[in-house]
């Protein structure tokens, strides 16, 4: 998985992230700034997910995106 594309295009992609995880705030998205570990942590925090569940959700979401 090439997460660099997400980091490099975060401004365009963060809307898609917010569609998927609506509990993330704009401030959360600004703090995440495309960093996968930050996204995992915020999903865990907002949704009460375990780290493995957050990672799986991100993997599933990423694999369904057209930008990679």
User: pLDDT tens-digit profile of 36-62?
Assistant: 999 999 999 999 999 999 999 999 999
Q: What is the pLDDT of residues 14-32, one digit of tens each?
A: 999 999 999 999 999 999 9
pLDDT number for residue 2: 83
pTM as predicted: 0.91
Q: Looking at the predicted structure, is the pLDDT value of residue 1 above 80?
A: no
State the pLDDT at residue 34: 96
In the predicted structure, residue 68 carries a pLDDT above the cut 70: no
Q: Which residues neighbour 43 within 8 Å (Cβ) at sequence distance 6 or greater?
A: 21, 24, 49, 54, 57, 58
d(CA 62, CA 68): 8
Both structure tokens of 16? 């898609």
């Amino acid at each position: 998985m090439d997460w660099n594309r997400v980091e490099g295009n975060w401004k365009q992609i963060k809307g898609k992230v917010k569609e998927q995880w609506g509990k993330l705030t704009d401030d959360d998205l600004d703090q995440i700034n495309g960093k996968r570990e930050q996204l995992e942590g915020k999903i865990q925090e907002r949704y009460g997910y375990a780290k493995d569940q957050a990672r799986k959700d991100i993997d599933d979401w990423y694999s369904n995106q057209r930008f990679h």
